[in-house]
Amino acid sequence: MEFSPDVCLEDLCPVCGDQVSGYHYGLLTCESCKGFFKRTVQNNKTYVCVEYQQCRIDKTQRKRCPFCRFQKCIQVGMRLEAVRADRMRGGRNKFGPMYKRDRALKQQRRSLIQGGGFTSECAPPVLSVNPYRDWTLIGELHPVLILHSLTAAPISPAAPQLHSTPSSNWTVKSEPTSSTSPPGSSSELFSDRLYPLPLSPQNPQLELELLRGGPDELQLQERISARLLQEQAGWGGHWTPTTFSLMCIMADQTLLCTVEWARTSISFKQLKVSDQTKLLHSCWSDLLLLDVVCRQVLFGGEGRLLLVTGEEIDLLDMASHAGPTLCGLVHRGQELVQKLYVLKVDHREFTCMKFLILFNPEVKQLEEHRFIESVQEQVKGALLEYTLSTSSHLLGRFSHLALAEDYLYETHLSGEPPSDNLLLEMLHAKDRRT
C-alpha cells in the first residue's frame, strides 16, 4: 500500500487512528482492526464492556476493550457480510466497485485540495466576520436585518406572496417565482441502493428523518403570515411591513421553525435538553444560512435573493446600498450557491447537511457525545451512499458536499446566539405534533 508523504485524516484508521493498510471489510482500516474484525466475526465472539460502553478507542488503548472496539468497527461501517462464511481465500467480492469509486472520490478530493480549487482552506470566509461588529449600517439596515435577510426556509409553490413597502432602498420583487418540485425528494430515494451501509438503510428512523426534510416550510409561511396579521392588527389595520420588519419577522419565525424541526426529529428528541441546547446554540446560524443557500440553489434565480415568502431581492441593488463587508459576503454567498448549483445538490443532500451541522460532536461539554457522533456517522454514511447511488457519473460530488459542509463549519457565524432561556423555552415547550 502506498502512502503519500503528507498523511491526512483519510490515511488514518477510522476505528483506532492507526495507519490504514488498505480496504478491509468495506472501508479503509489498519491491519490490526482488520484482523480484530475478522477474528470477532469468524469466531462469533461476544465481548462485555466493564465500563460504560463508551471506551475511547485509539492506537494505544484499542486492546483494552474489545466490546467498544467492535462496536466502533460497526459504527464506522465495517461490513459483517464481507467476512466469508466459507473462509475462501483470495479473489474479489462485491465490494470491489465500491472500493474503486471511493478511491476515485478520495483522489479527486486530494487533487481539489492540492489544486487550490474549492477547498475549505482557501475558500474565502463567507461569514467569518462578526455581523455585530463589522457590518456597515446604512439607513435602516441594522446588522440584525442583514443577518435576518439571509434567513428563511425552502419555498413551496403555494407560498403566499406578501407585499411589502420597502422603506430601505432595496427592491423587493413580488413576482411569483418559477418553483419546481424539489428534486430527489421522494420515490427514488434509497430505492435501489448498490451498497447499503449497515447503519443507514437499516435504520428506518434515519430514513424517515431524511425523507421528512428540513423545517416545515408551509408552517413557516403560515407563521409569517400570522405574525404579519398580528402586527397589522396592533396598528389598527394601517400597517404595511417595511423590508426591515418583514425580514425580522421572517428570521424570527425561521429560527422558531428550525428549533421546532430539530426538537421533533427522532434522534434529537433522544438527547437531554442540556445537549440539545448546546447543539442548537452552536449551529443555529449555520442552519439558517444553509436554509438560505438551499433555497437559492433549488429555486432561486441568478442575481436575486429568494425569500421564503416568494419575494426576491435584487442582489446588485442590495450590494449597491451595502458596505464592502456585506458586498463581499453577498459575493461569496453567490459563489457558494453557484458551486452547489453546478453540483446539482438536491433537497435530500441539503437535509443530510442540516443533520450533519446539527449533530456536531465537536461541540464542547456534550454529555451524550458518543450518541451524537454516531448519528453524524450514520448521516454521513447515508449521504455518501445516496450521492454514490444517484450520481456515480459525477465523481467527486460527495467530496464537494463534504467540503461545503466543512466550509459552513469553518465559516461559522460569530454573531450573538439567542439566549439560553429562549432556546430552553422552545425546547421545553409542549410538542404540539405528538
- Give yes or no for residue 195 binding DNA (CB under 7 A): no
Tell which one of 10, 11, 17, 31 touches DNA (CB under 7 A): 31
- Give yes or no for residue 324 binding DNA (CB under 7 A): no
Residue closer to DNA (CB basis): 82 or 138: 82
- Give yes or no for residue 38 binding DNA (CB under 7 A): yes
Nearest to 428 by CA among 251, 252, 263, 209: 263
- Give yes or no for residue 83 binding DNA (CB under 7 A): yes
Residue closer to DNA (CB basis): 12 or 218: 12
- Give yes or no for residue 234 binding DNA (CB under 7 A): no
Q: Nine-digit cell at 256?
A: 422558531
Q: Which stretch binds DNA (CB under 7 A): 33-41, 283-291, 326-334, 339-347?
A: 33-41
As measured in angstroms, the least distance from the Cβ of 296 to DNA is 40
Cβ atoms 66, 45 nearer than 8 A: yes
Residue closer to DNA (CB basis): 35 or 124: 35
- Mask of contacts with DNA, 62-81, x by CB under 7 A? xx--x--x------------
Count the residues of the shown chain that bind DNA, applying the rule CB under 7 A: 33
Tell which one of 90, 116, 236, 237 touches DNA (CB under 7 A): 90
Cβ atoms 376, 383 nearer than 8 A: no
Residue closer to DNA (CB basis): 49 or 144: 49
Residue closer to DNA (CB basis): 15 or 293: 15
Residue closer to DNA (CB basis): 32 or 168: 32
Residue closer to DNA (CB basis): 100 or 428: 100
Nearest to 145 by CA among 128, 167, 175, 125: 167
Q: Which stretch binds DNA (CB under 7 A): 25-33, 194-202, 217-225, 268-276?
A: 25-33
- Give yes or no for residue 48 binding DNA (CB under 7 A): no
As measured in angstroms, the least distance from the Cβ of 113 to DNA is 21
As measured in angstroms, the least distance from the Cβ of 58 to DNA is 10
Contacts made by residues 128-135, CB under 8 angstroms, sequence distance 24+: 128/411, 128/412, 128/414, 129/325, 129/329, 129/414, 130/414, 130/415, 131/413, 131/414, 131/415, 132/415, 132/416, 134/325, 135/323, 135/325, 135/326
Tell which one of 3, 8, 39, 416 touches DNA (CB under 7 A): 39
Query: For every residue of the chain, which 3-state class applies, written as one string?
Result: CCCCCCCCHHHECCCCCCECCEEECCEEECHHHHHHHHHHHHCCCCCCCCCCCCCCCCCCCCCCCHHHHHHHHHHHCCCHHHCCCCCCCCCCCCCHHHHHHHHHHHHHHHHHHHCCCCCCCCCCCCCCCCCCCCCCCECCECHHHHHHHCCCCCCCCCCCCCCCCCCCCCCEECCCCCCCCCCCCCCCCCCCCCCCCCCCCCCHHHHHHHHHCCCCHHHHHHHHHHHHHHHHHHCCCCCCCCHHHHHHHHHHHHHHHHHHHHHHCHHHHCCCHHHHHHHHHHHHHHHHHHHHHHHHHHHCCCCEEECCCCCEEEHHHHHHCCCHHHHHHHHHHHHHHHHHHHCCCCHHHHHHHHHHHHCCCCCCCCCCHHHHHHHHHHHHHHHHHHHHHHCCCCCCHHHHHHHHHHHHHHCCCCCCCCCHHHHHHHHHCCCCCC
Beta partners for residue 22, in sequence order = 29
For DNA, the binding residues in 97-126 under the rule CB under 7 A are: 97, 99
Tell which one of 87, 238, 393, 433 touches DNA (CB under 7 A): 87
As measured in angstroms, the least distance from the Cβ of 50 to DNA is 14
Tell which one of 5, 6, 44, 89 touches DNA (CB under 7 A): 89
Residue closer to DNA (CB basis): 57 or 307: 57
- Give yes or no for residue 53 binding DNA (CB under 7 A): no
- Give yes or no for residue 188 binding DNA (CB under 7 A): no
Residue closer to DNA (CB basis): 9 or 85: 85
Q: Is 325 annotated as a binding residue?
A: yes
- Give yes or no for residue 163 binding DNA (CB under 7 A): no
As measured in angstroms, the least distance from the Cβ of 22 to DNA is 3
Q: Is 324 annotated as a binding residue?
A: yes
Residue closer to DNA (CB basis): 23 or 407: 23
Q: Which stretch binds DNA (CB under 7 A): 15-23, 194-202, 311-319, 321-329?
A: 15-23
- Give yes or no for residue 299 binding DNA (CB under 7 A): no
In the complex, which residues of this chain contact DNA (CB under 7 A)?
Answer: 18, 22-26, 30-33, 35-36, 38-39, 42, 62-63, 66, 69, 82-84, 87-93, 95-97, 99
User: Binding site membership: which residues?
Assistant: 323-326, 407
